């Protein structure tokens, strides 16, 4: 996993990992946004994960309400 890795370093890391073993799966995460996702994908990683849809959402309000039963 490459977490919070600058794009240039991510590209270098992917290259080094691929030179070692082509079968290793590489995931990028941390600070992935709509502005950076294309550049991250172009580094050659296999997976991209982000919590941005939840943590940066201005249109989604999730809540859980628990009501205690008197039984």
Cα distances from 12 to residues 20, 48, 66, in angstroms, run 13, 17, 49
3-state secondary structure of 17: helix
pLDDT at 54: 66
What is the rounded distance in angstroms from the CA atom of residue 18 to the CA atom of residue 28? 15
Please give the model's pTM, rounded to 2 decimal places: 0.72
- Write the pLDDT tens digit of every residue in 10-52: 999 999 999 999 999 999 999 898 899 999 999 999 999 987 6
pLDDT at position 61 is 66
3-state secondary structure 25-47: CCEEECCCCCCCHHHHHCCCCCE
Higher pLDDT, 3 or 58: 3
Residue ranges of the domains in the chain? Answer: 2-48
* CATH classification (class only), 2-48: alpha beta
Of 6, 17, 64, the closest CA to residue 40 belongs to 6
């Amino acid at each position: 996993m490459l977490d919070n890795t600058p794009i240039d370093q991510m590209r270098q890391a992917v290259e080094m990992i691929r030179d070692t073993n082509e079968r290793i799966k590489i995931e990028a995460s941390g600070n992935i946004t709509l502005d950076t996702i294309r550049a991250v994908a172009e580094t050659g990683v296999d997976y991209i994960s982000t919590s941005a849809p939840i943590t940066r959402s201005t249109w989604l309000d999730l809540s859980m309400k628990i009501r205690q039963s008197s039984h």
